[in-house]
Amino acid sequence: MLQELLNGIVVGASYTLLALGFSIVYGLIRLINFAQVSLYTLGAYLALYLTPLFASWLPGHGWVAFSLSVAVCGLLTGLVGVLVAAFAWWPIRRAPTISMLVSSLAVLILIEALIEVVVSPLPMVVKVPVDNRVHEALGGHYSSLQAAMLVGGVALTFLLYNFIRFTKFGRAIRATASNVDSAVVLGVNVTSTTFVVFGIAGALAGVSGVLVSSTYGVASFTMGEIVGLKGFTAAVLGGMGSVWGAVVGGFTLGIIESMSTFLLPSQWTAVVAFGILILVLAFRPTGLLRTRASDRA
Protein backbone atom coordinates (compact mmCIF):
# COMPACT_ATOMS: atom_id res chain seq x y z
CA MET A 1 0.00 0.00 0.00
CA LEU A 2 2.65 2.50 1.06
CA GLN A 3 4.82 1.26 -1.77
CA GLU A 4 2.08 2.11 -4.27
CA LEU A 5 1.63 5.54 -2.68
CA LEU A 6 5.36 6.15 -3.03
CA ASN A 7 5.36 5.05 -6.67
CA GLY A 8 2.31 7.21 -7.34
CA ILE A 9 3.96 10.30 -5.92
CA VAL A 10 7.07 9.78 -8.03
CA VAL A 11 5.09 9.21 -11.23
CA GLY A 12 2.87 12.14 -10.28
CA ALA A 13 5.91 14.43 -10.44
CA SER A 14 6.42 13.59 -14.11
CA TYR A 15 2.71 14.11 -14.90
CA THR A 16 2.87 17.44 -13.13
CA LEU A 17 5.68 18.67 -15.36
CA LEU A 18 3.73 17.74 -18.50
CA ALA A 19 0.51 19.14 -17.08
CA LEU A 20 2.24 22.45 -16.33
CA GLY A 21 3.36 22.68 -19.95
CA PHE A 22 -0.13 22.00 -21.31
CA SER A 23 -1.59 24.38 -18.79
CA ILE A 24 0.57 27.44 -19.38
CA VAL A 25 0.27 27.27 -23.17
CA TYR A 26 -3.47 26.69 -22.96
CA GLY A 27 -3.87 29.50 -20.46
CA LEU A 28 -2.11 31.90 -22.80
CA ILE A 29 -3.46 31.06 -26.25
CA ARG A 30 -6.17 28.43 -25.65
CA LEU A 31 -4.27 25.78 -27.58
CA ILE A 32 -3.74 22.16 -26.57
CA ASN A 33 -0.12 21.94 -27.61
CA PHE A 34 0.27 18.34 -28.76
CA ALA A 35 3.79 19.05 -29.98
CA GLN A 36 4.90 19.21 -26.37
CA VAL A 37 4.50 15.45 -26.10
CA SER A 38 7.18 14.92 -28.74
CA LEU A 39 9.56 17.14 -26.76
CA TYR A 40 9.17 14.73 -23.84
CA THR A 41 10.36 11.96 -26.16
CA LEU A 42 13.04 14.18 -27.67
CA GLY A 43 14.38 14.96 -24.19
CA ALA A 44 14.75 11.26 -23.44
CA TYR A 45 16.57 10.60 -26.72
CA LEU A 46 18.91 13.58 -26.33
CA ALA A 47 19.86 12.26 -22.91
CA LEU A 48 20.60 8.92 -24.49
CA TYR A 49 23.59 10.61 -26.15
CA LEU A 50 24.36 13.47 -23.77
CA THR A 51 24.39 11.61 -20.45
CA PRO A 52 27.21 9.19 -21.47
CA LEU A 53 29.05 12.11 -23.11
CA PHE A 54 28.98 14.22 -19.96
CA ALA A 55 29.82 11.14 -17.88
CA SER A 56 32.94 10.61 -19.99
CA TRP A 57 33.97 14.24 -19.39
CA LEU A 58 33.34 14.00 -15.66
CA PRO A 59 34.49 10.52 -14.63
CA GLY A 60 33.58 9.66 -11.08
CA HIS A 61 31.00 12.44 -10.83
CA GLY A 62 27.97 10.50 -12.06
CA TRP A 63 25.34 12.67 -10.39
CA VAL A 64 26.95 15.87 -11.65
CA ALA A 65 27.07 14.53 -15.20
CA PHE A 66 23.47 13.35 -14.97
CA SER A 67 22.24 16.68 -13.57
CA LEU A 68 24.13 18.50 -16.30
CA SER A 69 22.52 16.25 -18.89
CA VAL A 70 19.03 16.94 -17.49
CA ALA A 71 19.67 20.68 -17.61
CA VAL A 72 21.14 20.69 -21.12
CA CYS A 73 18.38 18.46 -22.49
CA GLY A 74 15.80 20.77 -20.91
CA LEU A 75 17.44 23.79 -22.54
CA LEU A 76 17.56 22.08 -25.92
CA THR A 77 13.93 20.92 -25.84
CA GLY A 78 12.97 24.40 -24.66
CA LEU A 79 14.71 25.79 -27.72
CA VAL A 80 12.87 23.33 -29.95
CA GLY A 81 9.66 24.44 -28.22
CA VAL A 82 10.39 28.02 -29.31
CA LEU A 83 11.08 26.83 -32.86
CA VAL A 84 7.77 24.98 -32.88
CA ALA A 85 6.02 28.20 -31.84
CA ALA A 86 7.83 30.18 -34.52
CA PHE A 87 7.22 27.79 -37.41
CA ALA A 88 4.04 25.90 -36.61
CA TRP A 89 2.01 28.36 -34.52
CA TRP A 90 3.02 31.94 -35.38
CA PRO A 91 2.20 31.82 -39.11
CA ILE A 92 -1.35 30.60 -38.35
CA ARG A 93 -1.97 32.44 -35.08
CA ARG A 94 -5.13 34.02 -36.50
CA ALA A 95 -6.42 30.76 -38.06
CA PRO A 96 -9.22 28.72 -36.47
CA THR A 97 -8.27 26.60 -33.43
CA ILE A 98 -8.63 23.41 -35.43
CA SER A 99 -5.80 24.45 -37.78
CA MET A 100 -3.53 25.17 -34.83
CA LEU A 101 -4.37 21.83 -33.23
CA VAL A 102 -3.67 19.95 -36.44
CA SER A 103 -0.42 21.83 -37.02
CA SER A 104 0.68 21.01 -33.48
CA LEU A 105 -0.26 17.38 -34.02
CA ALA A 106 1.72 17.28 -37.27
CA VAL A 107 4.79 18.49 -35.37
CA LEU A 108 4.27 15.72 -32.81
CA ILE A 109 4.15 13.06 -35.53
CA LEU A 110 7.08 14.61 -37.40
CA ILE A 111 9.42 14.67 -34.40
CA GLU A 112 8.43 11.14 -33.39
CA ALA A 113 8.90 9.92 -36.96
CA LEU A 114 12.29 11.60 -37.24
CA ILE A 115 13.40 9.87 -34.04
CA GLU A 116 12.11 6.59 -35.43
CA VAL A 117 13.97 7.07 -38.72
CA VAL A 118 17.19 8.56 -37.37
CA VAL A 119 17.64 6.51 -34.19
CA SER A 120 15.63 3.32 -34.26
CA PRO A 121 12.07 2.09 -34.25
CA LEU A 122 13.00 -0.24 -31.38
CA PRO A 123 12.93 0.70 -27.68
CA MET A 124 16.35 1.83 -26.39
CA VAL A 125 17.97 0.90 -23.09
CA VAL A 126 18.88 3.97 -21.06
CA LYS A 127 21.95 3.69 -18.82
CA VAL A 128 22.62 6.31 -16.17
CA PRO A 129 26.13 6.74 -14.68
CA VAL A 130 24.91 7.03 -11.09
CA ASP A 131 24.88 4.78 -8.10
CA ASN A 132 21.18 3.95 -8.19
CA ARG A 133 20.72 2.59 -4.69
CA VAL A 134 17.48 1.39 -3.19
CA HIS A 135 16.36 3.18 -0.05
CA GLU A 136 13.78 2.26 2.55
CA ALA A 137 11.15 4.70 3.69
CA LEU A 138 7.70 4.55 5.21
CA GLY A 139 7.63 0.80 4.88
CA GLY A 140 8.33 0.95 1.16
CA HIS A 141 11.41 1.33 -0.97
CA TYR A 142 12.49 3.74 -3.66
CA SER A 143 15.55 4.20 -5.85
CA SER A 144 17.87 7.18 -5.92
CA LEU A 145 16.70 8.03 -9.43
CA GLN A 146 13.07 8.00 -8.31
CA ALA A 147 14.05 10.40 -5.56
CA ALA A 148 15.83 12.56 -8.14
CA MET A 149 12.69 12.57 -10.27
CA LEU A 150 10.55 13.73 -7.37
CA VAL A 151 13.04 16.38 -6.29
CA GLY A 152 13.48 17.62 -9.85
CA GLY A 153 9.74 17.79 -10.46
CA VAL A 154 8.99 19.61 -7.24
CA ALA A 155 11.90 22.03 -7.69
CA LEU A 156 10.88 22.97 -11.23
CA THR A 157 7.26 23.43 -10.22
CA PHE A 158 8.35 25.68 -7.38
CA LEU A 159 10.55 27.70 -9.73
CA LEU A 160 7.81 28.07 -12.31
CA TYR A 161 5.23 29.09 -9.75
CA ASN A 162 7.45 31.80 -8.37
CA PHE A 163 8.44 32.94 -11.85
CA ILE A 164 4.84 33.35 -12.93
CA ARG A 165 3.61 34.75 -9.66
CA PHE A 166 6.30 37.19 -8.69
CA THR A 167 8.47 38.26 -11.61
CA LYS A 168 7.75 41.04 -14.01
CA PHE A 169 7.81 38.70 -16.99
CA GLY A 170 5.53 36.24 -15.21
CA ARG A 171 3.09 39.05 -14.60
CA ALA A 172 3.22 39.92 -18.30
CA ILE A 173 2.37 36.32 -19.15
CA ARG A 174 -0.65 36.38 -16.85
CA ALA A 175 -1.70 39.77 -18.19
CA THR A 176 -1.51 38.54 -21.78
CA ALA A 177 -3.58 35.49 -20.87
CA SER A 178 -6.18 37.76 -19.28
CA ASN A 179 -6.51 40.52 -21.91
CA VAL A 180 -4.23 40.50 -24.94
CA ASP A 181 -4.90 43.99 -26.26
CA SER A 182 -4.47 45.60 -22.86
CA ALA A 183 -1.13 43.83 -22.49
CA VAL A 184 -0.08 45.04 -25.93
CA VAL A 185 -0.84 48.71 -25.32
CA LEU A 186 1.06 48.54 -22.05
CA GLY A 187 4.14 47.43 -23.97
CA VAL A 188 4.10 43.63 -23.78
CA ASN A 189 5.45 41.97 -26.90
CA VAL A 190 2.88 39.21 -27.18
CA THR A 191 4.77 37.26 -29.83
CA SER A 192 7.93 36.91 -27.79
CA THR A 193 5.94 36.22 -24.62
CA THR A 194 4.19 33.35 -26.37
CA PHE A 195 7.49 32.04 -27.71
CA VAL A 196 8.94 32.02 -24.20
CA VAL A 197 5.91 30.15 -22.86
CA PHE A 198 6.25 27.51 -25.59
CA GLY A 199 9.92 27.29 -24.62
CA ILE A 200 9.13 26.79 -20.94
CA ALA A 201 6.58 24.10 -21.77
CA GLY A 202 9.12 22.40 -24.03
CA ALA A 203 11.81 22.48 -21.36
CA LEU A 204 9.46 21.03 -18.72
CA ALA A 205 8.47 18.24 -21.10
CA GLY A 206 12.10 17.52 -22.00
CA VAL A 207 13.24 17.35 -18.39
CA SER A 208 10.33 15.08 -17.60
CA GLY A 209 11.30 12.81 -20.51
CA VAL A 210 14.91 12.54 -19.34
CA LEU A 211 13.94 11.83 -15.72
CA VAL A 212 11.35 9.21 -16.63
CA SER A 213 13.47 7.37 -19.21
CA SER A 214 16.48 7.38 -16.85
CA THR A 215 14.47 6.14 -13.90
CA TYR A 216 12.80 3.28 -15.75
CA GLY A 217 15.78 2.58 -18.02
CA VAL A 218 13.98 2.60 -21.36
CA ALA A 219 13.01 5.03 -24.13
CA SER A 220 10.93 4.51 -27.26
CA PHE A 221 9.80 6.88 -29.98
CA THR A 222 6.15 6.53 -28.97
CA MET A 223 6.84 6.84 -25.24
CA GLY A 224 5.18 10.27 -25.11
CA GLU A 225 1.79 9.35 -26.46
CA ILE A 226 0.21 7.71 -23.43
CA VAL A 227 2.14 9.84 -20.94
CA GLY A 228 1.10 12.96 -22.84
CA LEU A 229 -2.52 11.91 -22.54
CA LYS A 230 -2.01 11.46 -18.81
CA GLY A 231 -0.29 14.83 -18.48
CA PHE A 232 -3.25 16.43 -20.20
CA THR A 233 -5.65 14.52 -17.96
CA ALA A 234 -3.75 15.85 -14.96
CA ALA A 235 -4.04 19.41 -16.27
CA VAL A 236 -7.79 19.06 -16.83
CA LEU A 237 -8.21 17.34 -13.47
CA GLY A 238 -6.71 20.28 -11.62
CA GLY A 239 -8.18 22.91 -13.92
CA MET A 240 -6.56 24.11 -17.14
CA GLY A 241 -4.55 27.30 -16.85
CA SER A 242 -3.65 27.03 -13.18
CA VAL A 243 -0.21 26.13 -11.79
CA TRP A 244 -1.59 24.67 -8.56
CA GLY A 245 -4.19 22.80 -10.58
CA ALA A 246 -1.46 21.08 -12.56
CA VAL A 247 0.34 20.09 -9.35
CA VAL A 248 -2.77 18.76 -7.66
CA GLY A 249 -3.91 17.03 -10.85
CA GLY A 250 -0.49 15.49 -11.52
CA PHE A 251 -0.01 13.96 -8.09
CA THR A 252 -3.66 12.94 -7.74
CA LEU A 253 -3.56 11.12 -11.04
CA GLY A 254 -0.22 9.46 -10.23
CA ILE A 255 -1.51 8.18 -6.90
CA ILE A 256 -4.91 7.01 -8.19
CA GLU A 257 -3.21 5.19 -11.04
CA SER A 258 -0.68 3.55 -8.79
CA MET A 259 -3.39 2.47 -6.35
CA SER A 260 -5.42 1.05 -9.22
CA THR A 261 -2.76 -1.63 -9.69
CA PHE A 262 -4.42 -3.41 -6.75
CA LEU A 263 -7.39 -4.01 -8.98
CA LEU A 264 -6.01 -4.13 -12.51
CA PRO A 265 -2.84 -5.26 -14.27
CA SER A 266 -0.47 -2.35 -14.87
CA GLN A 267 -1.02 -2.17 -18.64
CA TRP A 268 -4.53 -0.86 -17.91
CA THR A 269 -3.42 2.29 -16.06
CA ALA A 270 -3.98 4.32 -19.21
CA VAL A 271 -7.59 3.15 -19.22
CA VAL A 272 -7.92 4.31 -15.62
CA ALA A 273 -6.50 7.73 -16.51
CA PHE A 274 -8.81 8.00 -19.45
CA GLY A 275 -11.81 7.00 -17.35
CA ILE A 276 -10.91 9.79 -14.94
CA LEU A 277 -10.69 12.24 -17.84
CA ILE A 278 -14.19 11.29 -19.04
CA LEU A 279 -15.64 11.59 -15.55
CA VAL A 280 -14.02 14.95 -14.89
CA LEU A 281 -15.14 16.35 -18.22
CA ALA A 282 -18.65 15.04 -17.73
CA PHE A 283 -19.17 16.29 -14.20
CA ARG A 284 -16.67 19.01 -13.45
CA PRO A 285 -15.15 20.32 -16.67
CA THR A 286 -13.40 23.26 -14.98
CA GLY A 287 -11.36 20.86 -12.83
CA LEU A 288 -11.39 19.85 -9.20
CA LEU A 289 -10.03 23.13 -7.92
CA ARG A 290 -11.83 26.38 -8.30
CA THR A 291 -9.13 28.29 -10.21
CA ARG A 292 -7.58 30.90 -8.02
CA ALA A 293 -6.98 33.88 -10.21
CA SER A 294 -3.69 34.83 -8.65
CA ASP A 295 -1.78 31.80 -9.93
CA ARG A 296 -3.39 31.57 -13.32
CA ALA A 297 -0.90 31.22 -16.11
Partner 1 sequence: MLQVQGIEVAYAGALALRGISFRVEEGEIVALIGANGAGKTTTLKAISGLVRPRKGRILWNGTELSSLAPHKAIALGISHCREGRQLFADMTLKENLLMGAYTLRSRKAVARNLERVLAFFPEVGGRLNQLAGTLSGGEQQMVALMRALICEPELLLLDEPSLGLSPIATKRILSVLPGLSRSGTSVLLVEQNAVQALAFSNRAYVLQVGEIKLEAKSADLANDKGLQEAYMGGLVV
Partner 2 sequence: MRSIGPIAVARRFRDPRWYGGAALLAAVLLPFLVPSSYVLDIADDMMIWAVLTVGLNLVVGYSGLLDLGYIAFFAIGGYTFGVLGTKLGMTMWESIPIAAALVTVSSVVIGIPTLRLKSDYLAIMTLGFGEIIFLTANNLNGLTGGPNGLYQMPVPRLFGLTLNEPGQFYWLLLAVLLVAVIVVSRLRGSHVGRAWLAIRQDDLAARASGVEVVRYKLLAYMGGAVWAGLVGVIFAAKQTIVSPTSFQFSQSFYVLSAVIIGGMGSVPGAIAGGFLFVAISECLQGVAQTYSSVVFSVALLAVILLRPKGLWPASAHARYESAALSSSPAVLLDAEAAASRERQAYPALLSVERLSVRFGGVQALSEVSLSVGSSEIVSVIGPNGAGKTTLLNLISGFVRPDAGKIEFQGRSLSRLKVEARARLGIARTFQTPRLLATLNVLENVMQGAHVSFTAGALSVALGLSAQRRRERARRERAIEILRALDLLPVANSLPTQLSYGDERRCEIARCLALEPLIILLDEPAAGMSAKETDDLGELLLRVRSLGVTLLLIDHDMSLVGKVSDRVVALDRGTQVAAGSVEAVLRDPAVVQSYLGG
User: Are the CB atoms for 255 and 12 separated by under 8 Å?
Assistant: yes
CA atoms within 13 A on the CB side of 156: 30
Q: Least distance to partner 1 from the beta carbon of 167, Å?
A: 11
Helix or strand (DSSP H, E) at 240: none
Pick one of partner 2, partner 1, none as the site partner of residue 293 (Cβ within 5 to 8 A by kind): partner 1
Query: Which range, of 53-61, 129-137, 154-162, 222-230, touches partner 2 by CB under 8 A?
Result: 222-230
> Which span (59-67, 141-149, 154-162, 265-273) binds partner 2, by CB under 8 A?
265-273
CB 253 within 8 A of CB 22: no
Span 79-138, contacts to partner 2 by CB under 8 A: 88, 91-92, 95-99, 101-103, 105-107, 109-110, 112-114, 116-117, 121
Distance between CA atoms of 240 and 246, rounded to whole angstroms?
Answer: 7
Radius of gyration of the chain (CA): 19
* Of residues 99 and 162, the one with the C-beta less far from partner 2: 99
Please give the torsion angle defined by the CA atoms of residues 50, 9, 216 and 116, in that order, rounded to the nearest 10 degrees: -70
**Positions in 127-186 near partner 1 (CB under 8 A):** 168, 171-172, 174-175, 178-179, 181-186
For partner 1, the binding residue among 189, 278, 279, 281 (CB under 8 A) is 189
What's the min distance (Å) between Cβ of 169 and partner 1? 10
Report the site for partner 2 in 35-74 (rule: CB under 8 A).
Answer: none
157: left (phi over 0), alpha (psi -120 to 50) or beta: alpha
**Least distance to partner 1 from the beta carbon of 180, Å?**
10
- In whole angstroms, how close is the CB of 231 to partner 1 at the nearest point? 24
Neighbours of 141 (CB within 10 A): 14
